[in-house]
Structure 1
């Protein structure tokens, strides 16, 4: 019995070392390839996940063989072991197969890759850290690691697909001169196009396809405090959030310099002071 336990421990130890070696060689192989970095990280994550499951199953079979529960050299014992595995698989197969199929579809359709910033199920947002056969792990803004089964992922919003459109709305008081507002926003667009000229989405010839520009007045009815103006610009996806923040900041700076007032709700309270003595 002691010998069987020692052999089982050795099997576990060997499996652990083998898994580490596979991850090491995968890293070395992808260091000499010329794939996109995110694509390499995704392949490495998936292959590591597949290796884990294969080594895990093989280790279980070898340990069961040590205790003479399963013997791959004897057909009867193998059938018995396969039956046990079949019963277990039958219980969990529905969710497992759903996770695996969804995972393959996400990979083959390149819906997400390691390093992408995504919003899953319109609730969980963060950077993809790991993609496996059964689950996806993301790291959110608070650095919490969130893991979702592939089968539970119903929607994906990917902010890392080559290009993103920056859309910024700003409401300005109706009393402001529209021409003055448009001139200020034009100044903002010029500054953004200059600051982000390297990151604007370009054609194959290097020409900017959709630089920052004034989209126009987009609402004068729904809000009583002011008219809504909108500016847009198409940017490389990895610069989207920084461009969005900088655009909003530049609007505030430019409006303050040009004495343009952003609209905000105001309330007038009328107080009736009764000074009569009772």
Structure 2
């Protein structure tokens, strides 16, 4: 463009000055330098006002965004001055070799400009150091504010104490209030210490920034000197290229003056900001000392309020207050609870007796199966009802004296859930015990065979069954382990006798004697109640080595089979002896054969 202007001026009539013809390389380096010079980034200053109406967190965030913008701008300015160094030196080298009017002076000015750009690059690093220092301080302060919830501080109020609160509850609320205030003051101390660290770093950052801006202002004056000097180098009125060169630098000088003025204003603002930070740090240190004093005083108050002697005094005051205001009410309530509990226990006992009475057959000398089952169900039912009555009475009593039973019920529910998961065997025992009672598999007094053990049932509950053997051994069997039950005394039983006679005995005579003994036994009054029919000869069951074994059978009442067997054995022995019928015992007969 400047080459075209020079050609136009050179063709103007009356021009007598020598014409300068710019080479292609000079035009290219000039164009590159000017493009780099005019491609200036946005100038960002840190003296921008912060909206004081925002919250402190928003102010810190706004300042942090300004610092990030400043850091980005400084990196752009650093790259800008790096391009200036390269293009200005290349332009100066071309001017040195070209036949430009006052070319040496112009080349020297451009080299001075390149040296100035190098110093500008170094100063941008100082700017970045200041920005990074303050940015780190702000981020630490923001982290501290996020850790300490500002909404809790200064806004929490202690509970309103009413005249009806007892001393224990009032003292507990007082302790809670002290601990809450201690947390508030501790949080405010954390924020004050974070502010102190931030202000300290901001002072350090602003000091570096003032130093960098001072250097920048000096360099701006140096820029202005170079621009003014270059605009006056070699005034050749007849040389269009030199006129354009000088005009370009004059325009640049005006821009530099404007920038220098902005830098001076920014420097003054940063200097004022440095003084403000120093004053703020003094105030922050005062806040920290105040918070520390408040924390120490509150900690001392908590220690005093938590002493055993203080709690003892509060407990005594609470007892006196309770006796004066609610003592008679609580005593009356407990008395009513005791009365209703006693009535409930009497009702439960009456219910148990009623169940047993409903199954009573009127025979005091003999306990029937129905009576046994009724007794078992009555014992289990009355036991459960007694437990429920005591639990309900206990909860009502606790509520009457002022104990919150909600957590207790919640704990019981959680305990029940834990038992259901961790005590599956117990649950299995309870379920099996429930079905044993409902199905009436056996009752107290029954002779049963359970889990390989035979004995008389002494006790049944939901958890276990107790049976006692004939030799007195007591077995406690968990209901969950009962998979098979043999009841030897349910409804009716059968007496079985196995007797052996010699091979020489008349079996028809033996059968007649056995049936006669059975009819005689069945006819007797004492045994007729135990027997449901007369014992009879069933038949031969075995041809043994020493005897012919036959079976005698009779149907008896529940549990009477063993007595009937014993009596039959005795009477059959007497009858066979009277008739000369031998009951053999094992013996060996040797026959000698003579040849």
Q: Give the TM-score of the pair, scaled to structure 1.
A: 0.72
Q: Which residue of 2 aligns with 1:204?
A: none
Q: Which of the residues 438, 443, 449 maps onto 1:119?
A: 449
Q: Kindly state the Cα deviation for residue 258 of structure 1 after the two structures are TM-superposed.
A: 1.4
User: Which residue among 228, 246, 249 is the counterpart of 2:549?
Assistant: 228
- Deviation by residue 1:232-272 (Cα, 9 ceiling, x = unmatched): 11111142221121111111111111121112211469xxx
Moved more, 37-46 or 25-34: 25-34
1:1-278 equivalent positions in 2, closer than 5 A: 21=346, 24-30=349-355, 32-35=357-360, 36-51=370-385, 54=388, 71-72=404-405, 74=406, 78-92=409-423, 94-126=424-456, 128-195=457-524, 196-201=527-532, 208=533, 211-220=534-543, 223-267=544-588
Structure 1 residues 63 and 136: alpha-carbon distance in aligned structure 2, compared to 1, 3 A threshold = farther
Whole-angstrom CA distance in 2 between matches of 1:215 and 1:199: 20
C-alpha distance 139-55 of structure 1, shift in aligned 2 (>3 A):
farther
Asked if the contact 2:356–2:378 (Cα under 8 Å) also holds between the matched residues in 1, the reply is no
**1:8 match:** none
Cα distance in structure 2, aligned partners of 1:141 and 1:20: 36
CA offset digits 1:109-152 (Å, max 9, x no partner): 221012222222232312x2221111112233234443211112
CA RMSD of aligned residues (A): 3.7
8 Å CA contact 2:530–2:556 kept in 1: the answer is: yes
- Equivalent pair of 1:188/1:251 in contact (CA under 8 Å): yes
Q: Aligned to 2:537, what secondary structure does the other structure show?
A: strand
Equivalent-residue separation in structure 1 for 2:415 and 2:435 (angstroms): 30
| Alpha-carbon distance in 1 for matches of 2:584, 2:422 | 60
Q: TM-score, normalised by structure 2?
A: 0.36
Q: Secondary structure of 2:528's partner? A: coil
TM-fit CA distance, 1:200:
3.0
Change in 2 beyond 3 A, CA 1:102/1:161: same
What is the aligned partner in structure 2 of residue 10 from structure 1? none
In 1: Cα distance, 2:469 partner to 2:386 partner = 25
Deviation at 1:60, TM superposition (A): 8.7
C-alpha spacing 1:49/1:267, structure 2 compared with 1 (3 Å):
farther
Q: In structure 1, what is the Cα distance between the partners aligned to 2:546 and 2:398?
A: 74
**Equivalent in the alignment of 1:273:** none
Q: Residue 462 of structure 2 aligns to a residue in which SS?
A: coil
1:213–1:27 CA distance, 2 compared to 1 (3 A) = same
Cα distance per residue 1:182-217 (max 9 Å; x no partner): 22222222222223333333xxxxxx5xx3211111
Pick closer, same or farther for the CA change 1:131–1:254 going to 2, 3 Å. same
* DSSP-derived class of the 2:560 partner: helix
- Contact persistence 1:130–1:137 (CA under 8 A): yes
* Aligned residues of 1:50 and 1:133 also touching (Cα < 8 A): no
What per-residue deviation string (whole Å, max 9, x for no partner) do you get for residues 140-170 of structure 1?
3234443211112222221222211111111
> Whose RCO is larger (CA < 8 A, sep 6+)?
1
- Partner of 1:237: helix, strand, or coil? coil
CA contact (8 A) 2:352 2:382 kept: no
Quickly say closer, same or farther: Cα 1:133–1:17, change in 2 above 3 A. farther
Structure 2 runs not aligned, ≥5 long:
1-314, 320-337, 361-369, 591-595
Structure with bigger gyration radius = 2
**How many residue pairs were aligned?**
247
Question: Aligned partners of 1:156 and 1:179: how far apart in 2?
Answer: 41
Q: 5+ unaligned residues in a row in structure 1: which ranges?
A: 4-12, 202-207, 270-278
Flag the structure with higher helix content.
2
